[in-house]
Structure 1
Amino acid sequence: MRIHRTFLLAGGAVAVAAATVLVAPLAQAASASLTATFTQSSTWSSGYGAGITITNRGDAAASGWVVEFDLPAGSTVSSSWDSVRTSTGQHHRFANASWNGAIAPGASTSFGFNVSGTGVPVNCLVNGAPCAGGPAPLPSPSSPSPSPSPSPGSSSPSTPPSSPGGSIVDVATAAQLTTAMANARPGQTIRLAPGTYDGSFIGTTPGTAAAPITVTGPRTAILTNPAPSGSGPSCPAPTPGWDPGYGVWIANAPYWNLVGFTVANAKKGVVVDNSPHVTIDGLYVHHIADEGVHFRRSSSDGVIKNSTVEYTGTVQPAYGEGVYLGSANSNWDCHGNSGGVDRSDRVQVLNNHIGPYVTAEHIDVKEGTVAGVIRGNTFDGRGISGQNSADSWVDVKGSGYTIEGNTGTFGPPGTFANGYETHNPVTGSGCGNIWRDNVSDLGGVGRYAINVTSTSKCAGNLNVVYSSNTVRNATTGLTNITVTP
């Protein structure tokens, strides 16, 4: 049953109301005054989806926020988005992302999360004060001290500081960004000012584990590349005079961090080629002609987390994957640079919000890749095209993946067969994957939450579906294989 319930969070209690309750905080001249309202938007047998809206009822802008609360034993936050989350036991803390920390007087911002369990938040604080407004409580020996409010100008926790000895390069134009990325050095941080950057942005200088290269900016720093030009090699490689139309391209350059900004209106969003240990954190990728984010050409040990990917495949729906790991074996002639295979292994896809209007799979895991993690993501299946067999949230052709704690929904328009699928295009692929604690709502259209297409091709390395997975509104059921307790 879908429900929409709103709670005003305060002290140690939760008040339930049919609509959002507004409680005026104590007035304070020339200062920000924040309240936080909890909204439970959907429920299922083992948990629920929710959001918190933070409103500035003061007369000065807020430069950052931290919301924290406790959940009763047996309930925990399984995934979140549009914030930076840290959890210790039953205590959960959410800091603003790099793009949504500033709140003007009278304005609001929000973040979302999923809870495993049915307990609702208590002891809510926003910037150390009660979420319903009023003065901060006095700390007691039995409760942790509230976290300090972010100070003006402080970095969001999702924005990594420059490495020791590294410099900061501030840019405000496309030309400056192009030059900064071309001249980047290990340990350097390239910091984007708000604005639109239209051009070809390529990083080819390797960072190191101790001194990665970082490009960071607010969500209002928007990188676009709508006009590819020139001609390049048949297998894409950075080539003078050729613009492939990628929003950001990291090529032959491990240890880069891309943090907080927006990529939009490009042929492909973010492409990572032959570049291990690249981290994408808090990006907003939308209105992309083909796929949103692609780890390609043995870009192993990468991470995409806390990001939003939507409106992909706007020109070629069949190629509009949200997140694409590896390459199809038909493309290994180009991208199979590890013994003839694209080994984009051990990539982690964590706590992202993917969809709606991702026209192909939300995550496409290609054959030849192994040992990745897909955890804590939210999939909104509206707009899946059905072209080129794109009819599920996640298609797993790789092996040894852990897929857990994700929440998926489907509603019209679109074509939808199953929530998760496996396929075995080459020997040994699509095997040994594990599903646990995933929540699926198939909208009365999808057959199975998890459809395993073959067991005979995975003899000795079977896919496993645990009973902790749940499904609603399926035309057939949870899975087509025996469930493991």
Structure 2
Amino acid sequence: MRISRTLLLAGTAGAAILLVAPLTAAAAAASLTAAFAQTSVWSSGYGAEFTITNRGDAATGGWVVEFDLPAGSTVSSSWESARTSTGQHHRFANASWNGAVAAGASVRFGFNVSGTGTPVNCTVNGAPCAGGPAPSPTSARPSSPAPSSPAPSSPAPSPSAPSSPVPSTPPPNGSTVDVSTAAQLQAALAAARPGQTIRLAPGVYDGSFIGTTPGTAAAPITVTGPRTAILTNPTGAGSGPSCPVPTPGWDPGYGFWLAGAAYWNLTGFTVADSKKGVVLDDSPHVTIDGLYVHHTGDEGVHFRRSSSDGVIRNSTIEYTGTAQPAYGEGVYLGSANSNWACHGNSGGVDRSDRVQVLDNRIGPYVAAEHIDVKEGTVDGVIRGNTFDGRGIAGQNSADSWVDVKGTGYLIQGNTGTFAAPGTFANGYETHNPVAGSGCGNVWRDNVSDLGGAGRYAVNVTSTSKCAGNLNIVYTSNTVRNATGGLTNITPTIG
């Protein structure tokens, strides 16, 4: 674009002479900033995002954000970007669908951090994230040169970055996102934001489905659909770490996985034909309501890696442990102490505390315990559930409806039955694998029919290991068809 500059000169005859000289205006250019914000914080880390804003007067076709984290902190997962990490240095390039940022517009990408350190030495396309000129060549990081200004149609190159997990077409957005294919669901999960609802149409969704964006208490993220919306994932793929965390190119075979994703609601739909059903890792304050989970190789629903303060209610779980009966629990709360090296992210313990299991139907053909309450967890509630013990395999001592190794649980108002086939010892059991575990639990108003096979409705393995914090079985519990009776300890009137 050219503009004219007019000069007024004095002539010899006193007349004014006008001269017009061409002047070339400065070329339009993009100017990016990148603002960091924490979106959620927990004891061992946090979730965060960068908002990239174009304050220039031309679009940019790609972006790269780089920063360092202090020792002891690292990025554990990310979304809406292609990430590479070298030591404490992390590089995020745009995904295939969010590289073009128009003048005045913004895009975002998110990530979770294990540890409490926050980003330093942040650059966007080689310039400081807060804006300003690019670092001098002597101070620029040699391994990550600033990219040249790309054309609007050409995203920033990222040859070493892993492929983005999202499809090449932009995902739908808005407060409610309707999806009808597996690819649409994967894209919606990758782009999920607090307050958003992802709504499933009826149909079969086959693939790997994972949510890693935290919601908030005021604005949870919801995935909802009818029972005829069926998520399946029968075969995992790729090679992952020994302790499961989201890893590019690896599908662990979970039907639905939340990782570092607090405040989600999962309602109504079905999860079937998967290695595990629904797995929650480091995802507190999740509500599962009205799901149908069936035909899983291992457990149906697992609250793991300190996924505390969750709720599972009004759901049906059956036909678990089809691949490994010993690991076919219906609902699994916490982790065995032998797995705390992987999942003990709260002081070395899996503190999936205060989970409420309410008004579910669990069984038949749940091959292991209908509910397995692991050591290290505390203060949960198991109430109003119906247990159908047909098909309990008895492998690895899994021969009861509920095995309580946690502490301070209320087990109230449940109804349990057993009939052949299966191996059945007691309705409810306690165990004490670590000091103080399996203690201080209370049974009230439970109705048990042991089918002539089980010995006690409630079998308390040890009182000496719970001195000062005894388990209590009230006389309001009832039992039928038991070879032993209500309980092996003296019940408390009430």
TM-score, length basis structure 1: 0.66
Q: 1:329 maps to what in 2?
A: 337
Q: Deviations over 1:218-256 (max 9, x none)?
A: 000000000100011110000010000000000001000
1:238 and 2:246 aligned: yes
Q: Is the 8 A contact 1:256 1:279 kept in 2?
A: yes
Question: Displacement of 1:259 after TM fit?
Answer: 0.2
Q: Is the 8 A contact 1:166 1:187 kept in 2?
A: no
- Pairing partner for 1:436 from 420, 431, 444: 444
Q: 2:233 maps to what in 1?
A: 225
User: How far apart, CA to CA, are the structure 2 residues paired with 1:418 and 1:229?
Assistant: 39
Q: Is the 8 A contact 1:354 1:380 kept in 2?
A: yes
User: How far apart, CA to CA, are the structure 2 residues paired with 1:269 and 1:227?
Assistant: 12
1:375 and 2:397 aligned: no
- Pairing partner for 2:392 from 375, 381, 384: 384
Q: Alignment length, in residue pairs?
A: 321
Q: Is the 8 A contact 1:353 1:378 kept in 2?
A: yes
Q: Deviations over 1:156-213 (max 9, x none)?
A: xxxxxxxxx9700000000000110111000000000000000000000000000000
Q: 2:416 maps to what in 1?
A: 408
* Closer/same/farther in 2, CA of residues 479 and 191 from structure 1, 3 Å limit: same
Q: Deviations over 1:88-124 (max 9, x none)?
A: xxxxxxxxxxxxxxxxxxxxxxxxxxxxxxxxxxxxx
| Amino acid corresponding to residue 428 of structure 1 in structure 2 | G
- Pairing partner for 1:289 from 297, 304, 312: 297
- Pairing partner for 1:280 from 288, 293, 301: 288
- Pairing partner for 1:363 from 347, 357, 371: 371
TM-score, length basis structure 2: 0.65
Q: 1:17 maps to what in 2?
A: none
User: How far apart, CA to CA, are the structure 1 residues paired with 2:205 and 2:461?
Assistant: 44
Question: Displacement of 1:303 after TM fit?
Answer: 0.3
How many percent of aligned residue pairs carry the same amino acid?
Answer: 86
Q: Secondary structure at the match of 2:208?
A: coil
| Amino acid corresponding to residue 356 of structure 2 in structure 1 | Q
Q: 1:344 maps to what in 2?
A: 352
Task: Point out which structure has higher relative CO (alpha carbons under 8 A, 6+ apart).
Answer: 1
User: How far apart, CA to CA, are the structure 1 residues paired with 2:217 and 2:401?
Assistant: 33
User: How far apart, CA to CA, are the structure 1 residues paired with 2:190 and 2:287?
Assistant: 19
User: How far apart, CA to CA, are the structure 2 residues paired with 1:418 and 1:463?
Assistant: 16
Q: 1:77 maps to what in 2?
A: none
User: How far apart, CA to CA, are the structure 2 residues paired with 1:285 and 1:456?
Assistant: 39
Q: Which stretches in structure 2 are left out of the alignment for 5+ residues?
A: 1-172
User: How far apart, CA to CA, are the structure 1 residues paired with 2:311 and 2:479?
Assistant: 28
| Amino acid corresponding to residue 366 of structure 2 in structure 1 | V
Written as runs of structure 1 = structure 2, the 5 A alignment for 1:108-257 is: 167-257=175-265
Q: 1:471 maps to what in 2?
A: 479
* Closer/same/farther in 2, CA of residues 456 and 480 from structure 1, 3 Å limit: same
User: How far apart, CA to CA, are the structure 2 residues paired with 1:220 and 1:403?
Assistant: 32
| Amino acid corresponding to residue 262 of structure 1 in structure 2 | T
| Amino acid corresponding to residue 360 of structure 2 in structure 1 | N
Q: Which stretches in structure 1 are left out of the alignment for 5+ residues?
A: 1-164
Q: 1:455 maps to what in 2?
A: 463
Q: Secondary structure at the match of 2:340?
A: helix
| Amino acid corresponding to residue 336 of structure 2 in structure 1 | A
| Amino acid corresponding to residue 438 of structure 1 in structure 2 | N
| Amino acid corresponding to residue 432 of structure 1 in structure 2 | G
| Amino acid corresponding to residue 206 of structure 2 in structure 1 | D
Q: Is the 8 A contact 1:166 1:211 kept in 2?
A: no
Higher Rg of the two aligned structures? 2
